[in-house]
Amino acid sequence: MSASGKKREQRLSRGLLAAFFVGSGVNHFAMPRAYEQIVPPRLQGDAKRVVAVSGVAEIVGGLAVLPSRTRRLAGPGLVALLAAIFPANLYMARSPERFRKIPRWALYGRLPLQPMMMWWAWRATRR
């Protein structure tokens, strides 16, 4: 692949990563109840705050991917965010009776996506 093709591919990857996180973050405010339901039991008392903080973190992290001066900080921040929200995904997989609208295979299938998302966030923000 040519250098210009590689740069185009990197810009596309960063743009998609940013759109994913900004969209997910905005969704925390558009559909807060859905996110509050997946907050693990030990944090349920603060579910509204957890959802709001994680939504803001996703928006800020996604936007930080775009400018070159904040990009390298965005990567570790998004990796940390993905690690922080992993317990919610694990809770969903381990409590399928609470999430009957989601197929059981999907609850478990999303768990290995987390490390792949971490890799993507890291890789897209290194250049």
Q: Is the pLDDT of residue 1 over 80?
A: no
Q: Is the pLDDT of residue 127 over 80?
A: no
The Cα–Cα gap between 110 and 93 comes to 9
pTM: 0.92
> Nearest to residue 120, comparing CAs of 12, 2, 22, 8?
12
The Cα–Cα gap between 64 and 25 comes to 13
- Number of residues that make up the chain: 127
pLDDT digits (tens, 9 = 90+) for 36-89: 999 999 999 999 999 999 999 999 999 999 999 999 999 999 999 999 999 999
Query: Mean pLDDT over residues 93-101, rounded?
Result: 93
93's tokens: 């997989």
